[in-house]
Every structure is written in structure tokens, then in C-alpha cells.
Amino acid sequence: MRIAEEFASDVVLIDIASGMAKAKALDLEDARNIRKINYTVAGSDDISLISGSEIVVITAGLTRKPGMQREELIQKNASIVKELCLSIKKFSPDAIVIVVTNPLDLMTRLALKTLGFKSSKVFGMGPTLDASRFANLIAERLNIPVSEVDAVVIGSHGEGMMPLPNFTTIRGLPLEQFMDEQKVAEVMAGTVGRGQEIVSLLGSGSAFFAPSAAVADLVKIIFKDQKRTVGLSACLSGQYQANDICIGVPCRLGREGIEQIIELPLESKQAQAFLNSAAHLKELAEKYL
């Protein structure tokens, strides 16, 4: 709905559950008159309807249950993502593909390998959401507008994520000027655990409002060729001393996808933690994918 309303564009929903996507498409279109926006939404279980799509977002797969880590979904969701990517390759070979399915970094790598597209055109959404959560918790703690916070998070989209307080600013000023180390550590821990907190409270399923906002923002950047720097799960080829792994890093995004992977001058402990996170992802990829 965010994408349809933002661009008054053609959106296609695909779901393997018979009738599910069609029902949601009808519901979304029934809002057009109220919203005074002439978008078009189609829904089907026939994936050939994505033919010629400029951007494809993969959200399909099982969601986490309380107490479940993202990594526990690897084998269950890998087959789903792989099958979808084979269809995307067939019907939308020129598309930019945004992966949202968890475990996000591993599913992004699987999508890239299956599609065979340029690495600039296949990436994951995760760090965009993580940074928004970090910014939100900072704003709540300081009782300031969240729009004043520019937060940075890198690393895997999961318990291995790394909020970076030394690159996070408030009105351009360093976070350390506003919060002491203990408060920063508490907010960082809250950011890492936010997804699990929501899963536990829901009891079934996981977050969707904020992830949808993150996806819609990425689509906006691409369509409008804004060339903004945002966090993405991107395939590294030597950056941050890592290779052949998808992991969260800042990237400049534009009409053709990732234009540049930005290498931040990390502190030694941060650099080591990042390498540890990348190594863990690679180990899981080699074991399960």
C-alpha cells in the first residue's frame, strides 16, 4: 500500500495461498477512492504476472516464532527463495531484487547466486530497518523528535548486528554529547533485541509496519534515482576485508541499484566484530545453502 500510494503505480502481489493475494489486492484497490489516488494492484498465485517488473521484493517465507532465532529459518525458507528466484530470472530478468525474507543476509546471498544477476541489483533490506529502530530508541530516551537522529547500523540482520554510536549523530552532533556510555549500551542492546521483542509480544508472526516502510523507502530511492546512502545487505568483494558474503553495510543507492559500497573507518574492536559476524554468516552459508 505504501508503494502503490507513493507512486500511483502498478503493483502485483503474488502469494502461493490461493485467493490470498487477490483478496488483498481487492481490499487495497477499494481504498483508492478514499485516498484519491489512482494506483493499480493485482493479486494472484500465478507468478508469471511479475513479467517485466522493474523491482521485485521477496518477503515470502515462514516468520519467526517466540524464542526462535532468524538462523533457524534457513532450511525452511531457502527452498522458497530459490524457487522464487528461478521464476524472477525467467519473467523479470532485468529487475532489481530486494530481499526481506529471514535470515535476511543468507537469503540475499542465496538469491544472488540463484539469479546470477549483478551484485548491484540484488540486496537485502535489513540495515535500513535496524538503523530506524536504533534512531527511534535514541529519540525515545532523549525525548527528541526522531527526525533529528541519523543512526548507523552495520553487520548481519540479527543478533550479530552492530549499531555504531560513533557514526550516529543528532542534528549533526555526535551521539556521545547527548548520552553516556551506559545509556548508549542500553539503547544498542534494545536495538539488537527489538525484532525478538516484537515477535514475543505478537505470539505469531513478526514486525511488518516498519519493514514495509523500509522497503518503500528503498523503492523510492531507486525510482527517483536519489543516490542516497542507506544500509543494505550487500555482497562484499574485498570491502571491510570480507568476500563473497552478503552483510549489512552503508551503500549509495540509485536507479541501477547499488552504485557504491561505503567503507567506514571502523574502530579496531568494531572491525573485528564485523569480521566475526561475516565469518559466522559464511559458515552458515557453507553448511546450509
CA distances (Å), 203 to each of 64, 130, 133, in order? 9, 21, 20
How many Cα atoms sit within 13 Å of 93 on the Cβ side? 2
Q: Is 157 a catalytic residue?
A: yes
Using an 8 Å Cβ cutoff, are 17 and 45 in contact?
yes
Report which residue type is found at 236. L
- Please tell me which residue in 64, 70, 157, 280 is annotated as part of the active site: 157
Residues 20 and 47: their CA atoms lie apart, in Å, by: 13
Beta carbons within 8 Å of 33's beta carbon, 6+ residues apart = none
Using an 8 Å Cβ cutoff, are 125 and 251 in contact?
no
Q: Report the catalytic residues.
A: 157
